[in-house]
Amino acid sequence: MEFANTIAEVFGFRIPLTPAVVLPLLVLATIFLAYVLYFLILRIVRAATKGTSISIDDRVMRLLERYLFPLLIILGLLLVLDAAPLTPKVARVADRLLSLTGLLIAIFIVTRGTLLIFRNIATRYEPLWNIRGPAELVTKIILVAVGVMLILDNLGISLTPLLTTLGIGSLAVAIALQDTLGNFFAGLHIQADRPIEAGHFVRLENGDEGYVEQVGWRSTRIKMLPNKTAVVPNSKLVQSTIINYDLPDPEVAVLVDVGVHYDSDLKKVEHVTKEVAKEIMLEVPGGVPSFAPFIRYHTFSQSSIDFTVILRARTFVDNYLIKHEFIKALQAKYRETGIVIPFPIRTVHIKSETEPESDNRAGDARLAQDFN
């Protein structure tokens, strides 16, 4: 070695520069310079984030404080490795080990830093926060896969056959699992957008209705009122129109159509109907006591004047009992106050076959004259 016969004079002392002396000196010098650089970088970062109140800054600082120093040491050793008194074989092994160690630390720092940034962004956007679990898992897989490819490349392993095999295999899997993947991404969409959640009462496009039991990655389970469970694939669920009776508020309007006789006093009908509706709101479980019921007349039908009574229920299912009790109470009150709910009536004029044709023509002429 060229260091074997080299002698340095330090403060009057002659020190032979053998590999046993040079290697520790190089390592110590690298560690010292790495620490100085580490100190400067942290000082600059602290000064840049001193005036901010963002919590991510503190977490990034902790990450740098833990892992930046060893990474700088490894990078420094890689730089001075060519000057180290090592045999070519030992130098290659050392270079490979240092490179692998540096890659592992760098991959770890990048992964942790990316997840910190992702979580910080997710806290500001609710849809992203709702799927943070799967999103973080996918992020880790991608970063780890890139890191593994870098490590394999550093080891001298060709990536072309591996990437070709993975590409063909991924295409085959995507074709084979097309429906499953469609349901999976539809489940992600439901989890992010949250149009429905467990416990919500919903009505599907085909008319089925019930409580959402579970929103899975492949399908959604809905417990119907007849105590049966409907399993709906997520891909079909996101493409259909859904009525969610729990959004934005679980309270729902209860509409009851009523008709009274043409001879009825409409002010009296309105007063009596509202009094019955108020009692129902106070006494029937599921009613909203603070709600003031009201009615709206809307149609002159063939045998009655029709109107709609508007009540309010705490949940959609409560409307069945409210309608049931209201109709019973309203009929009893109408009988008590003399308000008539008429039967359907239709007046039909039947022309007699013995009616003279001249009379028919005269009647038609008079009708035409009156019309004109």
pLDDT (tens digit per residue) in 65-117: 888 888 888 888 888 777 666 777 777 888 788 888 888 888 888 888 888 87
Mark whether 126 and 229 lie in a shared domain.
Answer: no
As given in the structure block, the two tokens for residue 351 are 């022309």
Mark whether 52 and 140 lie in a shared domain.
Answer: yes
Q: What is the pLDDT, as a whole number, of residue 291? A: 93
Mark whether 280 and 204 lie in a shared domain.
Answer: no
State the Cα–Cα distance between residues 129 and 135, nearest whole angstrom: 9
Mark whether 217 and 128 lie in a shared domain.
Answer: no
State the Cα–Cα distance between residues 7 and 181, nearest whole angstrom: 70
Does some domain include residue 27? yes
- Residues linked to residue 203 through DSSP beta bridges, in sequence order: 209, 243
Does some domain include residue 186? no
Q: Supply the mean pLDDT for the chain.
A: 80
Closest residue by Cα to residue 251 from 324, 203, 316, 295: 316
Computed over its alpha carbons, how large is the radius of gyration of the chain?
41
For β-strands 219-224 and 209-215, DSSP reports them as antiparallel
Mark whether 209 and 309 lie in a shared domain.
Answer: no
**How would you classify residue 286: left for phi > 0, otherwise alpha for psi between -120 and 50, otherwise beta?**
left
Contact 267, 255 (CB under 8 A): no
Element (DSSP H or E) covering residue 93: helix 88-122
Give the residue-averaged pLDDT of 8-34.
66
Domain boundary among 184, 211, 244: 244
As given in the structure block, the two tokens for residue 157 are 């392993």
Mark whether 128 and 153 lie in a shared domain.
Answer: yes
Amino acid code (one letter) for 184: F
Cα–Cα distance list, 275 to 191, 256, 259 (Å)? 45, 15, 17
CATH number at residue 307: 3.30.70.100
Mark whether 270 and 206 lie in a shared domain.
Answer: no
Question: Is 339 exposed, middle or buried (CB count within 10 Å of its CB: 0-12, 13-18, 19+)?
Answer: buried
Output the pTM of the full model: 0.58
Domain count, the chain: 3
Q: Which residues contact 323 (CB under 8 A, 6 or more apart)?
A: 254, 256
Does some domain include residue 368? no
Closest residue by Cα to residue 73 from 130, 21, 26: 26
Cα–Cα distance list, 204 to 101, 200, 232, 245 (Å)? 56, 12, 10, 11
DSSP designation for 11 = T
Express each pLDDT in 207-233 by its tens digit: 888 999 888 878 889 998 888 888 888
Does some domain include residue 151? yes
As given in the structure block, the two tokens for residue 214 are 């579970």
As given in the structure block, the two tokens for residue 338 are 């003399």
Mark whether 13 and 105 lie in a shared domain.
Answer: yes
- In percent, the amount of the chain with pLDDT more than 70 equals 83
* Res 254 pLDDT > 90: yes
Domain of residue 104: give its range.
7-171
Does some domain include residue 190? no
CATH number at residue 235: 2.30.30.60
Mark whether 148 and 21 lie in a shared domain.
Answer: yes
Mark whether 44 and 129 lie in a shared domain.
Answer: yes
Which carries the bigger pLDDT value, residue 24 or residue 289? Answer: 289
State the Cα–Cα distance between residues 86 and 78, nearest whole angstrom: 13
Does some domain include residue 184? no
DSSP designation for 287 = B
Does some domain include residue 163? yes
Amino acid code (one letter) for 30: T
**How would you classify residue 156: left for phi > 0, otherwise alpha for psi between -120 and 50, otherwise beta?**
left
Contact 57, 119 (CB under 8 A): no
Does some domain include residue 353? no
Cα–Cα distance list, 305 to 146, 221, 301, 309, 344 (Å)? 75, 44, 6, 13, 12
Mark whether 158 and 26 lie in a shared domain.
Answer: yes
Mark whether 271 and 151 lie in a shared domain.
Answer: no
Q: What is the pLDDT, as a whole number, of residue 85? A: 66
